[in-house]
Structure 1
Amino acid sequence: MNLTRAIGRKIIRTKVLLCLFAAILAVSGWNTGGAPAWAASAPVCGSGDHGLLKELQQKRMNAGSSPLSFADIQFLSAATGRAAGNGFMIGTSDGGCTFQTIYEGQWSFRKIEFPDNVYGWALASVQEGQPVYLIRTTDGGSHWKRLSNGPVSFTKIQFTDRKHGFAYDREFAYYTADGGESWSRIPTPPNTRGAVFTSRSSGWAVTVAPGAGYRIMKTTDGGKSWALKLKSAFSYSIGAEIYADSSQVWAVLYGESGMSQTSYSLYASAEGGGKWRRVIAQSTAGGGPAPGSGSEGRAKGPVSGKPGNMQLAGGGAFLLGYSPAGARVGVGRSYTGGKQWSNLPGIPGFDGVISFTGAKEGWLAVRGLERSSLYATHDGGFTWKLKLSFKTK
């Protein structure tokens, strides 16, 4: 009996060792012949072009259509998110180890918005057309329904759940309580250049006072009344973007552009608009002096380039910068409400879009000279790891 048990234990140990040996050989690239199926097909989380969309890209090139390129990305977590562009949407649920094609069709996505992994909205045009429509999906992005009878003026959409959301154009803000089927306009101050709402009652707006400068306004009663929170002079009035969450407010004031350069200022408040800091004041030869006034912070933004989109996540603030002339894309960040600011190293590219889900985790889609690429970071944008790349020429 003891001998039988000993032999049994030896057989079990031998089987375990053989399985481990086969797995090691499989990972090393050797042909084991009898290796378990899971060992041979175990996914490797690498980088570079996984071959996704290659066939569709070739079809578009053969048909004379514009090459596939990322237009917007949105991630719900470090593992799960989507990237979309002209006629396609892809997604990952394992942090970019593998991607799946979610949608291929007529819609050319400009902006996407998913409050969860099932319901989503997008601003999109039909193929190469210019009019923009509001569309919605109820199955994660595989199928889309047009909500608007005609084109919309929206430039940005923001949903808190499957029913409630906001939309914005250059002058106005809008609210929906039925998933985008109908919209009501929220009163905003005259000459609004950008707005954002953190709830139905609380919102912010950047306005222009002709001949006087920028004004940042706040409402706590759904737009019925607005209170002045910041005055800022400017050299030229071009436009603005404002970003807010429950703890901080940031405003990007745009100046003139020229010679692939844009002048701008970045303001921050971590005190609900009670106190503001001018974090960046970037003047350029092509765009002239930075708009705004007040004590200057840094003289240059990320990669000394144009400001892109901004993300507030995990207590941090992240601003994309891109330099077409310098062919660099990168981010600047602050974890202190603008008291300290860091411009981080850039990577090759002409422009891009960021999506941060936490203080350290984020994603970046980059358009390069011949490739469109998707990167991930786990250190707040200091380093980026290539997750997907495909040719655009």
Structure 2
Amino acid sequence: MVQTMRWFGPNDPVTLRDIRQTGATGIVTALHEVPNGAVWSREAIADRKQMIHASGLEWDVVESLPVHEGIKTASNDWDALIGSYRDSLINLAANDIRVVTYNFMPLLDWTRTDLEYAMPDGALALRFDPVAVAAYDLHILKRADAAVTTDPELVDAATRYFKALTPEAVDRLERTILAGLPGSEESFDSAGFRAALSTYASIGAERLREHHVRFLRAVCPLADDLGIRLVVHPDDPPFPIFGLPRVVSTESDLAQLFAEVPNASNGLCFCTGSLGVRADNDLPGMVDRLGSRIGFLHLRSVEREPGGAFHEAAHLEGSAEMAAVVGAVHRLSRREGRRIPMRPDHGHQMLDDLNRLTNPGYSLLGRMRGLAELRGLERGIEWASDRG
């Protein structure tokens, strides 16, 4: 695997110099300052690439080139937005950047309900609690059909949860869900979110799948010609929330997507954390079966909890079967003769980072620990494989 680390640009509290010292050789980043739907200029890409190269690192993967909501909803400006996306791909290829991550999640990117979940060792993790989401949906957002689409037992639990919240906790929950986590492509307040939800009133899962396929059929032929691999990030969490459909959550979702759009450029960002939330996703088996489509790896583990909650575990712990996953990646790499970019996704806030400004999930030391553990795991698997 090519060892990389995510960097959020010049304003990231984790610097390129910091990342260089973790042992990573590559950077995963984006032009976060460019509005969604605008073209990434060739010059801006070149400037950012030169900044990274000057630090002794390479820009290996774009994460992400956002897909505008107008593409996801097939709005009237679809043609113009597709044109801008194609132009950005052309400009990335001109700068020899060939792996481009995107997602097709409606409105919200990855979602959590607690950014400071205390672990037994004193580190802080990210956590998702469906009860907290339902409490927000029912009693803060007050989505019109929330009570109808929420399981009755969850409605009762959410009501009890909400009644126990202080005004400060209500505000914190709203901000955590809507304000946008690192790398998120949109952020809202509750009024704005309610308005945005209306744009999906007539878009269910099948229609969103159709829009996803339409997007790929419009851009993949160009990406094929450019030698770019477009890698879709799975839904996080991998199930519907707030009445919004999610269509990149399971192996069957992915198999259908690749069957509908068989272009070589139609690829996968294999995120063990997102996919691993679902116990029915066989992660090592998915690497074996979907391996030719995998162009980028997010390696992290979640600990599944009763009732559908989960929190971010240490990289080699939790529910991900990380040793089996990396073993499957090793077989894939040997079989296809290629190294796949990998980054340690998320990480606990720990040690000195507990007293520093950090992006949730993206503090330095927790990710460095994860990278070191994954590096050691890979080398151990290589050693055992070489000796039969």
TM-score normalised according to structure 2 size: 0.29
Structure with the bigger percentage of strand: 1
Q: Which has the larger radius of gyration?
A: 1
Structure with the bigger percentage of helix: 2
Higher relative contact order (CA 8 A, sep 6+): 2
TM-score normalised according to structure 1 size: 0.29
